[in-house]
Chains A and B, each alone.
Chain A
Amino acid sequence: MTSSQNVQPITPYAPPSAVETTPESASPLLPPTAEGDGSLDALSQMLSLLTAQNSESLRLNLDEIKTARVRLEDLQRQLAEQLKRALDAARKAQKRNKGGWLRRTFGKVVDEVAKVFAKHVEVVKDIVVLPADMTVSFAKNLGNREALMESLRRDLGELSKSSDTEKAVAGFVSGTTKFVTDLMAFDVALLAALAENAVKGEPLADAVKERGVALWESFKTNIMENPGFWAVTQRLAQGLAVAAAIISGGTLGVVAVALIVLLEADNRYGFIESAVGEKAAPWVRLGISVAATACSVAACGDLTSALSLAQMAVGVTNGVGTAYHGYRLREEGSRQAEELNRQTDVQETLYHMQEVQRLIEALIELYEEKGEHQTQTIEAAVRLVQTQSDTQAALVFQG
């Protein structure tokens, strides 16, 4: 290079941090320092300032990377908290399904006992299954007593083969037993709290509230939503109805029998569920059972008031069932919305994390690029000094 011949000094860009510096080093054999050198030519000055600017820029770049990393760590913590909340919610729902501690502890035992009970205690099965089949036989053979008796004997013979009945009885026994155990646990907690508060004069303890919630959940699971319970309840009601109808032999007895035949037909073909929906079907069945029972009872008493009572019972049952179904719909909607909101929170945090991740990647790439520039600048400065030195050596040699 021809050194500084015909070179106009240029005004290089100076970063804010690269303030006016005082040149000190004059040796051409030394690489230019970041502070610059008055005796150096324009190119040397430019390289010196480039080095200084690059150093400062690298430092800033590192600070930015650190800041982004801190932000990323915050987001990771936030994500962990959100996931924990989602997990807690799932556990809570699971716990709610599991019920109280007593039932959780002895739940399996209760189930097994219920199965054995349903399998081996034929008396219970007879009580539960007999009325419906007897009703059908009764309806078919109203005018023929012998045929009726024969049909009843056949029905009795069929009892031990009914696996559906076993399931219903098992469900009934299991559900009621579990609910009773939760009720016992609640009683214990209530008594303890009452005793404690009697001494301290304070309101009911939280333990009682928790037990109350657990009891309500147990009631919902084991009674309200237990198909076995309703099946057995209906059969028991039918049994009463048939017994009353057979005893009375009056008009209402026939109505009761007709209602029970309707129920039996539903048990076999499931038309009520398809007509009114899965949720409302148990309530409709219960309503018909109640009506049948009321009719049967009324067969021996006052016709009008019994019918009115039956109508009211059916209406109240159906109304309560509809209201409860509405409540469950609200609960399910809230659960779905909360779940979706939790997923959205996680998604939002992931988006932020991806954004910060992209920023960090860009900053690291930039850092590498600046490091490369720094290396190139230093190499260029070394080469420049080398060239100057060589040129001066050649001039001295010539001289």
Chain B
Amino acid sequence: MFIDSNHTSATVSYYQDAKNALMGDYATQIAAMMIDHAKQSREQNQELRRGEEAHLRLVQREHIEALRTEADMIQAAANAQGNAMIASGFFTVGASVTTYFDSPNAAGIMNGSGKAAEGMGMLGKGENDRKAGLARAEATEYEHQSQEALRRLEDLDGDDESAKDLQRKAFEHLRVVQQIKADTDRALTSWRG
């Protein structure tokens, strides 16, 4: 979402087009230059603002994605460890029962399998915890970037306000000049008469 720059520059364009056709003195040229400057400055601000908005949207989207990744990784880590422990528990039960029925080999295999499952679970948990930590770090980084972008947008707002003020003054100056010119013309006309 952004503001189209054509919305704000129309009035300024009229004056810019009109300045050569209507005016020729230095005072008017200075006013026209001020308007030019204000117009360019505001257009530049709008471009920067548009870019900043796009950047802000991007980093906020990335922030959200990083948070979701972290949630997925937390779930995956818990699943890995939980599944492994469940498997290990059942292997332990199996080993106990087989021991009771005098099958030491099977019991050994089951005990070993239980330990292996626990090891695999810890491995999976460690890997997923690492990914979750990375995702959390990324989320924090994107959050900071979005705050930076917001601060830059505030700065741009301030710049735009200054340019708008300059533009207002230039128009006022132009109006005063035209008023003086008109008064002078009228005085001259009366005097000639």
Contacts and interface: CB of A to CB of B under 8 A. Distances in A.
Contacts of B82: 326-331, 333
Interface in A294-314: 308-309, 311-314
B83 A330 contact: yes
Contacts of A333: 74-75, 77-79, 81-82
Contacts of B90: 319, 323
Contacts of A116: none
B18 interface: yes
Nearest to B96: A315
B185 interface: yes
B162 interface: no
Contacts of A314: 96
Main DSSP-derived SS at the A contact region:
helix
Interface stretch (A106-114, A206-214, A383-391): A383-391
Given A311-B99, A332-B78, A369 B17 contact: no
Contacts of A330: 78-79, 82-83, 86
B68 A344 contact: yes
A54 B7 CA distance: 10
A395 B193 CA distance: 8
Contact of A316 (B79, B93, B153): B93
Contacts, number: 184
Q: How large is the interface on B (under 10, 10 to 19, 20 to 34, 35 or more residues)?
A: 35 or more
A347 interface: yes
Contacts of A362: 3
B78 A312 contact: no
A212 B70 CA distance: 34
Given A7-B22, A391-B186, A337 B178 contact: no
B67 A340 contact: yes
Given A324-B89, A373-B11, A341 B71 contact: yes
A292 to B, nearest CB: 17
Interface centre among A2, A315, A343, A397 (most CB of B within 10 A): A315
Contact of B86 (A316, A323, A369, A373): A323
A10 B192 contact: no
Given A42-B21, A319-B89, A326-B81, A340 B96 contact: no
B28 interface: no
Interface string B171-193: 10001001101100110011011
Given A312-B100, A355-B1, A50 B88 contact: no
Contacts of B99: 308, 311-312, 315
A334 B189 contact: no
Nearest to A376: B171
A322 B92 contact: yes
A397 B22 CA distance: 27
B14 A398 contact: no
Interface string B97-125: 10110000000000000000000000000
26 contacts: A1-B185, A2-B181, A7-B22, A13-B13, A308-B100, A312-B96, A314-B96, A316-B92, A318-B92, A322-B88, A322-B89, A323-B85, A323-B86, A323-B89, A323-B93, A330-B79, A330-B82, A332-B78, A336-B74, A337-B71, A340-B67, A344-B64, A347-B67, A355-B57, A363-B3, A394-B189
